Amino acid sequence: MRSSTPLACGLAALLLAGCGPKPTPVQLSPEDQAKLAGPKAEMVENPQYRNWAKFPVGTAFTRKMTTDSAKSEGKTVTTFKFKITEKSDELVVVESEATTEYHGGRVEKNPPVIDRHPRQVALPEGAKKDEWGKPKGGVEEEVTLLGQKYKARKSESSGSTDAGKYVQKVWMSEEIPGGLLKSETVVAAAEETTTIEIVELVIPVK
């Protein structure tokens, strides 16, 4: 069976922790970003900063990504741990670490990754300032997570991998650090489902 692992890796990368080891990313200051974007680049609020900055230092949570296929034995589970380690009016620093346990029992632990989210970033060329960082499409839903209800926006998309076409549902919420509340991706041809959910969330009392 041809695996749809590239899809899972792509989604995991979107969650700030990819499949397999990766080096600590090179971070550019807002000024350097503006230079690379061009002399007339406009600085705008970073949506990632806006989300993470809502929560205090010490906020920590765990996401679990589970891939289950009827055509293979067992499940592959990747656990992503996140923690806000620094926060200021200009920057939020988030440390993450991923560990994958394959159905055969092999465990792969990736080194920690540090992501720095500046408050201001250069507006991408061609992007409209009044639309930048705002959700598009989807429907509003209320989702219960760990015994609490959260306002979320559900969106659906489709595409294809080497294993066949997939359908993906994603629930995003500004009330959750990182924004992603949960997701479900189904590759019908491979009888494979990949789910991502938050299984632990700790927000220190201010």
What's the pLDDT at 134?
81
Q: Among 128, 98, 114, 138, which residue's Cα sits nearest to residue 11?
A: 98
Encode pLDDT of 159-173 as tens digits.
Answer: 998 888 999 999 999
Encode pLDDT of 109-159 as tens digits.
Answer: 999 999 999 999 999 888 888 888 887 888 999 999 999 999 999 999 999
Place of tokens 């990949």: 194
Which residue has better confidence, 146 or 104? 146
State the DSSP code for 123.
Answer: P
Name the average pLDDT for the chain.
Answer: 85
CATH architecture assignment, domain 5-202: Beta Barrel (2.40)
Banded model confidence at residue 72, pLDDT cuts 50, 70, 90: confident
**Separation of CA 29 from chain center:** 22
Residues forming a β-bridge with 107: 101
